[in-house]
Amino acid sequence: MTARLVTAFGCSLLVHLGILLLPIWLASAAGDAVVAGSQPDRSMPVFVVPREDPAFPGLNPVDAAAASRIQPLDAGSATVAIGNFTFDAGKLAERAPVLFPFVSPGLSLDHFALAPAGESRLLYERPVSAAVARARAAARPLEMSDAAVQTLIDRAWSRRERWVAFEPVRRLAAQYSAASGGLPTVFQRYTDLNALQPYQDMAIPDARFWTQLGLSADHVNFIGFIRRYSSENPGTRGAIELLFLLDRIAEASQDALVTLLAYNPEQDLRWTRQTNRQAYRLALQLLHYYRSELSRRGLNSGPAITLHYERVRLAILHGVVRTTPDGYRANDARFLIGAIYWGQGRRVEALRTWRGLSCAATDSYVAACTQLARVVPGATDAAAESADFARQINRVLKNEHARWWDFSYDRLKRFGYRVDSY
């Protein structure tokens, strides 16, 4: 179809839509004038229904034809077994089109309450049911000692089946207040201690491949939970904490996608090829599918993939800053936003984001915030481009990453694991 035909088609469509909508608009305006007894309001409210998949809340609609490109596994091939390592690959085939939802089909971010409640939005959201509204209003604050919270978080820790292990946290979320009490602390502690873990190859690299894909298959469960909770409890401390969890899941998703793309199946999945031909075929199909999806979106390099994920994370984190009550954990969001800007080479924007940080003892990044507070306040925009300032900032960010790595190593050891065991 030529550009001229496309333009003509577009104009024709707009004209016909205008003709169809004009009587509706006139009737609405006339009705409003009769009820109000004043001059008719010539503005017409517009509601845009955000696209969302009916089976996977929080995601754009999944292409129905996409699943047909991945062949299912029969019952005898659903389990991948490597020594003492066993893995159910069946759920990967079932969820193949949503293993990396931040890329394909993408998040429907309008559903995560990332704008202030009073802001005018071109958005229609089905109102919360009366029963949900009553339950939310009646929810009592969670009262739990710090030791009890830690015990709960340890019970919810898992190296592989994260969604199953998250069940006790979900039960609390359904019972207690999102705005007050200890539930937000439970969410924060889960994100900080359990949500992101390091993985390295073991002697047989197949195990890491299947493990990280299995974690990716659970991401849509977490995303759906966060979508529902944040839309039902907008602007609460609990919703803010779950948006931080969503940001952390985006990091994990990117890491898993990079792992998938780095694998050479012939060399790295030899054990799977030799012991389970259908599972090996599934691995090839998943690799082909997501390379195709990335190419279709112009994400043909590592930097392009990183930039895509960072744009999603920035949208989430800016939403935290806009909607958080009384500045709750806004400094953590600003630290992460600045870190992303800094990594992108947007140093002045990073510096401006970090100015005015107020370090709170309950923040997750209080150590990095405290170090930045020694460097940032006196720095001008021009100083942000200097080599000396860059060294100081890089040291802060490197220290924060080292702190996370050391903590993660110790926590894995506590549960009997290493970075190369699953």
Q: What is 51-69 written as a DSSP string?
A: ---SSSTTBPPPPTTTGGG
Q: Is 252 helix (H, G, I), strand (E, B) or coil?
A: helix
Q: Any residues with CB less than 8 A from the CB of 365 and at least 6 apart, and which?
A: 331, 332, 335, 336, 400
**pLDDT given at position 118:** 57
Q: What is the pLDDT of residues 149-203, one digit of tens each?
A: 999 999 999 999 999 999 999 999 999 999 999 999 999 999 999 999 999 988 8
The separation between CA 45 and the C-alpha centre of its own chain, rounded to angstroms, equals: 31
**pLDDT given at position 51:** 81
DSSP 8-state symbol, 78: S
How far is the C-alpha of 57 from the C-alpha of 48, rounded, in Å? 17
**pLDDT given at position 356:** 83
Radius of gyration (C-alpha) of the chain in whole angstroms? 24
* Beta-strand runs (E) in 261-385: none
**pLDDT given at position 249:** 98
User: Helices 206-232 and 237-262: crossing angle, nearest 10°?
Assistant: 160
Q: What backbone torsions phi and psi does residue 157 show, to the nearest 5 degrees?
A: -80, 140
How far is the C-alpha of 409 from the C-alpha of 203, rounded, in Å? 19
For residues 287 and 260, the answer to whether their CB atoms sit within 8 Å is yes
**pLDDT given at position 129:** 56
Residue identified by tokens 């031909």 is: 277
Q: What is the pLDDT of residues 374-411, one digit of tens each?
A: 999 989 999 999 999 999 999 999 999 999 999 999 99
pLDDT digit string (tens) for the chain, length 422 residues: 444 333 333 444 333 434 344 344 434 443 443 344 445 445 444 445 568 999 999 999 998 887 778 888 998 899 999 888 999 999 999 999 999 999 999 999 999 999 886 554 444 455 555 555 556 656 899 999 999 999 999 999 999 999 999 999 999 999 999 999 999 999 999 999 999 999 998 889 999 999 999 999 999 999 999 999 999 999 999 999 999 999 999 999 999 999 999 999 999 999 999 999 999 999 999 999 999 999 999 999 999 999 999 999 999 999 999 999 999 999 999 999 999 999 999 999 999 999 989 999 999 999 999 999 999 998 999 999 999 999 999 999 999 999 999 999 999 999 999 999 99
